[in-house]
Amino acid sequence: MPKKRTFANSDTDSSYTTLLEPQISIIAPLYNETESFPYLISRLNAVMEKSPLRIEVVLIDDGSRDNTALLMQQVALTDARYHCVFLSRNYGHQIALTAGIAAARGSEALFIIDGDLQDPPELLTEFYAKYQEGYDVVYAIRKKRKENVLKRTAYAGFYRFMKAISYVDMPLDSGDFSLISRRVADVLNQMPEESRFIRGMRSWIGFKQIGVEYERDARLAGEPKYSFKMLQRLAYNGIFNFSEYPVKIITRLGMLTIGVAMIYLIQTLIKRFVYHDVPQGFTALLFVMVLFSGVQLIALGLIGEYVLRIFFQAKGRPLYVLRDVIKDQQRQPVMPLKQASLS
Ligand code: UDP
Ligand code: MG
């Protein structure tokens, strides 16, 4: 039996009490977003007021060190459409999203955006229309990035590399900005992987998926919260979790090495027995030794990367810990860990 909830934008009047659950959850993770917060709220409010859909907004505080959590608390305690989840520390964007997807109650679809308004929330209508046509995943494809050349090239290169090596069909130039159906969200909630690459997991789930082109806006206010190290970790998660390539390449390198060695051996034998020449080339020997010590270390490192992943997954820790939840304008009791782990 669904709980009584109020929705300011339900069909009849603004304080109408309904028994219905929200149809759509808009999910936005926030980490130190004080500067852009007021803009985010006013844009989201405008979207909700225009839309005939019942919408809840799920905001996730990813352990912000500024006033973000306080601002979120204020909005959630005064506006029933806002559902706020506070994590115990900074876990990173992908985990914050995971927490948001787990908390969302939208019965039809979840609309995932960035909290810095780089992904325009107004596109909900267009994305939802695609959902109604029968698509389970509607993902955004960036036409143009308004970031510096270096970052743009790195992104473009990474997505193309990922597409070439991945065993799931990942669309080019698409990030987490998407609308996913309830059943896709349910599957995501059941995927226990620790190193999360949500756009890859989303592709893995399948069903009918479609891309919609959009122009990615520049960040509205504040600094990007993704550091180079964090982006690198995200890229690693994509490569190691969605490709067998790193392991396969070790085997291929090994075979190539043996091939080269055989040719060298044959050449040496011919020199020795046909031309009665003494084999030369201590420099070459040294070079080969150093080269392949390097190759072997890389191979070990690649294997280590998988061992590490197995190690972290084997611990079976919850993906995040909740500090606080405010929904339906009330602070909710947070059960220690039980709620935090994926069930
Ligand atoms: N974010 C987060 N936790 C983090 C880093 C970022 O929740 O540790 C949020 C951030 O507040 C923003 C979104 O993730 O809403 C995207 O981050 P950012 O804008 O820094 O990434 P970029 O747009 O540069 O890829
Ligand atoms: Mg951003």
pLDDT at 13 over 50: no
CB atoms within 10 A of CB 164: 9
CB 162 within 8 A of CB 239: yes
Burial class of residue 36, CB neighbours in 10 A (0-12, 13-18, 19+): buried
Distance 30 CA to ligand 1 centre (A): 7
- Sheet (strand 137-142) strand order: 209-214, 137-142, 178-181, 109-112, 24-30, 55-61, 82-87, 322-327, 330-332
Strands (E), 217-289: none
Average pLDDT over residues 304-317: 86
The domain 5-243+318-332 having CATH identifier 3.90.550.10: the answer here is yes
Give residue-wise pLDDT tens across range 156-211: 888 888 888 888 888 877 889 999 999 999 999 999 988 889 999 999 999 999 99
Every domain of the chain and the residues it spans: 5-243+318-332, 245-314
Distance 102 CA to ligand 1 centre (A): 19
Of the pLDDT bands very low, low, confident and very high (cuts 50, 70, 90), residue 12 is very low
Mean confidence (pLDDT) of the chain? 85
Measured by CA distance, the residue closest to atom 15 of ligand 1 is: 115
| Residue 155 confidence (pLDDT) | 82
Give residue-wise pLDDT tens across range 279-302: 667 667 777 787 777 778 888 888
| Residue 16 confidence (pLDDT) | 44
Average pLDDT over residues 234-257: 82
C-alpha dihedral sign at 88, 336, 311, 243: negative
Q: Give the residue, out of 33, 44, 116, with the most ligand 1 atoms within 8 A of its beta carbon, to mutate for a pocket test.
A: 116
| Residue 9 confidence (pLDDT) | 47
Of the pLDDT bands very low, low, confident and very high (cuts 50, 70, 90), residue 54 is very high
- Nearest CA to 98 out of 115, 107, 85 is that of 85
Q: Give the residue, out of 35, 58, 94, 226, with the most ligand 1 atoms within 8 A of its beta carbon, to mutate for a pocket test.
A: 226
Average pLDDT over residues 219-226: 77
Residues with CB under 6 A from ligand 1: 29-31, 33, 62, 90, 92-93, 96, 114-116, 118, 219, 224-226
**More confident: 37 or 259:** 37
**Where are the alpha helices (H) located in 36-107, listed in sequence order?**
37-50, 68-78, 93-103
Give residue-wise pLDDT tens across range 103-153: 999 999 999 999 998 899 999 999 999 999 999 999 999 887 667 788 888
Two tokens, residue 16:
């109408």
Distance 220 CA to ligand 2 centre (A): 8
CB 74 within 8 A of CB 41: no
Two tokens, residue 149:
């050349």
Measured by CA distance, the residue closest to atom 21 of ligand 1 is: 226
Average pLDDT over residues 226-238: 83
Of the pLDDT bands very low, low, confident and very high (cuts 50, 70, 90), residue 336 is low
Atom of ligand 1 nearest to the CA of 225: 20
Residue listed under structure tokens 């606080």 = 324
